Amino acid sequence: MPKKTENKNILCIGAGYVGGPTMAMIAKKCPDRKVTVVDINADRIKAWQSDKLPIYEPGLAEVVSETLNRNLFFSTDIDKAIEEADIIFVAVNTPTKTFGEGAGRAADLQYWEKTARQIKRCAKSDKIVVEKSTLPVRTAAAMRRVLSEGANGVNFEVLSNPEFLAEGTAIRDLEMPDRVLVGSAETPSGLAAREAVVDVYASWIPRERILTTNVWSSELSKIAANAFLAQRISSINALSELCEKTGANVSEVARAVGADSRIGPRFLKAGVGFGGSCFKKDILNLVYMCESEGLTEAADYWRSVVDMNEHQKNRFVKTMLRAMFNTVAGKRIALLGFAFKADTSDTRESPAISVAKLLVEEHAQVVVSDPHAIENAKRDLAGLEEFVTYERDPYKAVEGADAVAVLTDWSEYKNIDWQKVYDLMRKPAFVFDGRNFLGHAKLYSMGFHVYAIGIEPKSHFY
């Protein structure tokens, strides 16, 4: 029997931002395999089967429509899907714990453990179980323990294959990843399982980009990569504050620093702070692991990356307040962009949440606008209806506003008719560019008072 026909049936448990796009790409690239994605959330599954996918991601709808019901299937029948699968990817959520030991830092593994127990209960043949969600180091060992005791003769091989896709560019990242990482036990059965998972990706990814390691390196590498990326953003954001005090321009500094080939230009964009479901959670997880091992200095080092990010968000609102004569009470402030970055509807940990809440504390009248994230924003700001309204159309959002704060780098905000925006606003009109991506000189010449990050303000008052 040729090896490629083995381990044909793939299952992913968890149909979220990671599970959905990743499995759609595997289905596209491996038409001879049956790929099933299951979730406990029936609405989510229904949405994946409809014209309105549960997440916005450029190019995703095309991949799903090409593969849906051909070799990509969505279902809520988790038990049956487990029974039929050979390789099971686990992509359930692992949020930061909100209670008990490690609250606010450690990963909450309850969904993950429930999944492991369900796999054990339903499996009637050997399975390769692959951790796709980001998990603390040595989770695979715990998973193996949960799976192996009382397994009725079924063998489970637990692997780590973290997903490095970034939202907004998920399809490109999945199609041409910098690397794919597969970690396994270095035993004969572990290595065989590793080959089976490598085979899936080798259908479209050059072999030399598929890195193989032991399980613990793989688990830690994912957390480490996110910590490094976030650390670069906090570093440039820390410099942005100094730039504002000294007359240096943070974009120029980033360009000069990033031109060093040892450093590189990416992830050096100063802004209102990083968001997304991964960076904060993964760093806090890293902090907790360091603390658990008694590595106080290492824990403090990584915690400072998150602290700097919180400071950057608070600082942005303080700048708004100061610029607007120390009061925003009753003022209409339009937030253009609520997603944590462009090209996604995801608002998890979006800096816009903090900015909106801080402005509400100051009794501002906040209008939230976003091309794809309004529904999520409504959930994030539930209970604040007295102070917050929603308006998809940016021109309606800015009508009569005293200030506009651009919080997401959607290209439509760069290309908006800013003269029209100015004309619609109350004067003096302020613009706060939380992403440093607007044409500041042009805005200033229109009459705006322009505040960006790490750049001297352009105000007509001085």
Residues annotated as catalytic are 278
How many angstroms separate the CA atoms of 425 and 432, rounded?
14
Question: Pick from 25, 64, 92, 334: which binds ligand ADP (CB under 6 A)?
Answer: 92
State yes or no: residue 196 binds ligand UDX (CB under 6 A).
no
Q: Which two tokens stand for residue 410?
A: 């959607």
State yes or no: residue 211 binds ligand UDX (CB under 6 A).
no
State yes or no: residue 278 binds ligand UDX (CB under 6 A).
yes
Positive/negative CA dihedral, 186, 188, 193, 196: positive
State yes or no: residue 204 binds ligand UDX (CB under 6 A).
no
State yes or no: residue 401 binds ligand UDX (CB under 6 A).
no
Do 130 and 89 touch, CB atoms closer than 8 A? yes
- Give phi and psi for 456, each to the nearest 5: -60, 135
Task: Return the half-sphere exposure (C-beta side, CA atoms, 13 A cut-off) of residue 439.
Answer: 11
Question: Pick from 47, 142, 166, 192: which binds ligand UDX (CB under 6 A)?
Answer: 166
Task: Report the DSSP beta bridge partners of residue 335.
Answer: 368, 405
DSSP letter string, 190-249:
HHHHHHHHHHHHHTTS-GGGEEEEEHHHHHHHHHHHHHHHHHHHHHHHHHHHHHHHHT--
Q: How far is CA 377 from the centre of its chain?
A: 15
Cβ closest to ligand ADP, residue 173 vs residue 362? 173
State yes or no: residue 39 binds ligand ADP (CB under 6 A).
yes
Cβ closest to ligand UDX, residue 81 vs residue 287? 287
DSSP letter string, 101-123:
TTTTTSB--HHHHHHHHHHHHH-
State yes or no: residue 337 binds ligand UDX (CB under 6 A).
no
386 closest CA partner among 339, 329, 340: 329
Question: Pick from 142, 229, 298, 384: which binds ligand UDX (CB under 6 A)?
Answer: 229
336 binding partner (options ligand UDX, ligand ADP, none; Cβ < 5 to 8 Å by kind): none
Q: What amino acid occupies position 19? A: G
State yes or no: residue 164 binds ligand ADP (CB under 6 A).
no
Q: How far is the CB of 316 from ligand ADP (least distance, A)?
A: 25
Cβ closest to ligand ADP, residue 78 vs residue 305? 78
State yes or no: residue 14 binds ligand ADP (CB under 6 A).
yes
Q: Which stretch binds ligand ADP (CB under 6 A): 34-42, 176-184, 294-302, 349-357?
A: 34-42
| Number of helical (H) and strand (E) elements in the chain, helices listed first | 18, 14
219 binding partner (options ligand UDX, ligand ADP, none; Cβ < 5 to 8 Å by kind): none
Q: Which stretch binds ligand UDX (CB under 6 A): 53-61, 161-169, 382-390, 450-458?
A: 161-169
Residues in the chain: 462
Footprint of ligand ADP on residues 377-396 (CB under 6 A)?
none
How many angstroms separate the CA atoms of 372 and 412, rounded?
12
State yes or no: residue 93 binds ligand ADP (CB under 6 A).
yes
List residues near ligand ADP by CB under 6 A.
13-19, 38-41, 44, 78, 91-93, 111, 114-115, 133, 277
The residues binding ligand UDX (CB under 6 A) are 163-167, 226, 229, 233, 267-269, 271, 274-276, 278-279, 340-341
